[in-house]
Amino acid sequence: MNFSGPRFVPTHPNIVELDRIGDEIAELCAHLDAATARLLDLIREFDARGGWNNGFLSCAHWLCYRVGLEMRAARERVRVARALGTLPRLAQALARGELSYSKVRALTRIATPEIEERLLKVGLAGTAEHVERIVRGWRRVDRKIEVEETAKRHKHRAVHFYHDDDGMVIIRARLEPQAGAVVIQAITAAREALRQRAKEATDGPAGPQFVDGPAEQRYFDGTPDGPTIEQQEADALALVAETALHHGIDPGAPGERYQVVVHVDAAVLADADAPGQSVVENGAYVPAETSQRLACDASRVVMRHDADGRITEVGARTRTIPPALRRAFEHRDQGCRFPGCGRRFGQGHHIQHWAHGGPTTLSNLTMLCRRHHRAVHEEGFQVERQADGELYFRRPDGTPLVESPPLPPIPTDPVAVLRERNAAEGIHIDAQTSKPGWLGERLDVGYAIDVLHPAATGERLTVSASAAAVTTADAD
């Protein structure tokens, strides 16, 4: 059956009023997006200038504490803020209310200054769903390329060594990034060990006295006839090989590899200003505050010395905090108790240090993560338990660090203030500002990626990005 004439479209009795409400929603959302752009500018500056570095792990942790953002949302705000610092077109579109924060958040996952203009057209032309689908497709292409490059690097790893005409051994290596980093770190450590060994062997009352031998010769900066950095690294590589052959190739269990022993006098544990030693196993100095922090939650062995420094007695190794007590305060605290943190894994902290007479009891213990344990011992932050059992934290200047800071005062009509502020900055927003250019066409993600992605063929890159984002129709 064929009908002629206009189609009958039922109208809602309050269609005009509903359109007005819809326009107000669209306009207010655009105002909020413009305000979000300003918020991200402030977050980026605050992050770059380290305003959060007063006891907090990161800018995201500070936002979680001070503003009340959920941690994942806080991390996203910081990520987007940093990204927009190098993407001025996307930042301006957000500031004008033309792009929503949702679109910008998605586009900044893949955007670079080289492709920013193309992605801006995608954001203006498509809906937020279109943008998300294109970004997911883009990242799939990137991951595929990355996997292919990783497999290619792995396939081409190699070490070549041969003898030159003069008998020297030439070694050429092509290593994967992680393996290369390990080798470089090992050579650097060996070079420093050789430098230290040479300094200890040659420093005497008359000053540096160079000695013969491949490991202890001329390792002093400024010596005209000293070895070049390349020669030092050659000696370091030989030392790495000799050490591996001498001690065996097996690196051992992680617990043994990463165990650190600190020697500290009892007087230093009780008073950081007291005379006495506080050194790690190799003799390097450790601040007394650091030793106190480590002693809060570590195995302890008490050694007694005579007047000449000889060891006269060695006690059994004991845990500062017994396992049962540890389980109790971990269950009670459920993570780091520093305001705004709450990380699940941490260390036991003696509120009154055991070296000062503080007991190892549940009431004198609390859990702090590594970062905040350091803040309390070495950065001047203070914590004490009140009579009601609650913890009270103070900054180094003595001001309180409350668990949940009060929110700033809100004006009576925040929407009017927002509109006035945007108008004062020359941002003109109406109900059509953030409306996409999409007209209902079906989105072909594969075609859009072929057109937009830099890895696509050159002839397709001339197609309009905005058209490709929302339609499969051929470009004019």
CA–CA distance, 281 with 287 (Å, rounded to integer): 14
Q: Which pairs count as long-range contacts for 194-197, CB under 8 Å and 24+ apart, including other chains?
A: 194/219, 194/232, 194/235, 194/236, 194/239, 195/219, 195/232
Binned at pLDDT 50, 70 and 90, residue 313 comes out as low
Binned at pLDDT 50, 70 and 90, residue 304 comes out as low
**What are the percentages of helix, strand and coil residues in the chain, rounded to 5?**
50, 10, 40
**Domain range annotation of the chain:** 15-141+435-439, 163-247, 262-401
From the list 81, 91, 90, the residue with the least C-alpha distance to 58 is 81
CA–CA distance, 259 with 219 (Å, rounded to integer): 30
Kindly give the residue spans of alpha helices, DSSP state H, lying in 280-413: 288-296, 323-333, 370-378
pLDDT value for 83: 94
204-241, pLDDT tens digit by residue?
544 444 444 444 444 444 455 678 888 888 888 888 88
From the list 65, 101, 70, 64, the residue with the least C-alpha distance to 84 is 101
pLDDT value for 282: 55
pLDDT value for 209: 45
Binned at pLDDT 50, 70 and 90, residue 436 comes out as confident
In the numeric block, the tokens 């294109």 are attached to 134
369-379, pLDDT tens digit by residue?
888 888 888 88
The two structure tokens encoding residue 14: 């309050």
pLDDT value for 370: 84
Binned at pLDDT 50, 70 and 90, residue 361 comes out as confident
From the list 415, 378, 416, the residue with the least C-alpha distance to 293 is 378
Binned at pLDDT 50, 70 and 90, residue 309 comes out as low
pLDDT value for 297: 72
Question: Higher pLDDT residue, 3 or 43?
Answer: 43
Q: What is the pTM of this model?
A: 0.58
Of the chain, the end-to-end C-alpha distance in Å amounts to 36
**Once rounded to an integer, what is the mean pLDDT over residues 395-408?**
82
Is the per-residue pLDDT at 177 higher than 80?
A: no
Question: Is residue 335 a contact partner of residue 342, using CB atoms and an 8 Å limit?
Answer: yes
Instruction: Give every CB contact of residue 86 below 8 A, 6+ residues apart in sequence.
Output: 112, 113
pLDDT value for 257: 44
pLDDT value for 212: 44
- Tell me how far CA of residue 447 lies from CA of 64, 209, 453, 462, 470, in angstroms: 40, 73, 10, 13, 10
Instruction: Give every CB contact of residue 387 below 8 A, 6+ residues apart in sequence.
Output: none
pLDDT value for 45: 95
Is the per-residue pLDDT at 336 higher than 60?
A: yes
- Give me the chain's average pLDDT, please: 77
pLDDT value for 105: 93
CA–CA distance, 263 with 286 (Å, rounded to integer): 9
Instruction: Give every CB contact of residue 405 below 8 A, 6+ residues apart in sequence.
Output: 65, 66
Question: Is residue 164 a contact partner of residue 170, using CB atoms and an 8 Å limit?
Answer: yes
b/e 176-189 (16+ beta carbons within 10 angstroms → b): eeeeeeeeeebbee
Binned at pLDDT 50, 70 and 90, residue 104 comes out as very high
pLDDT value for 207: 47
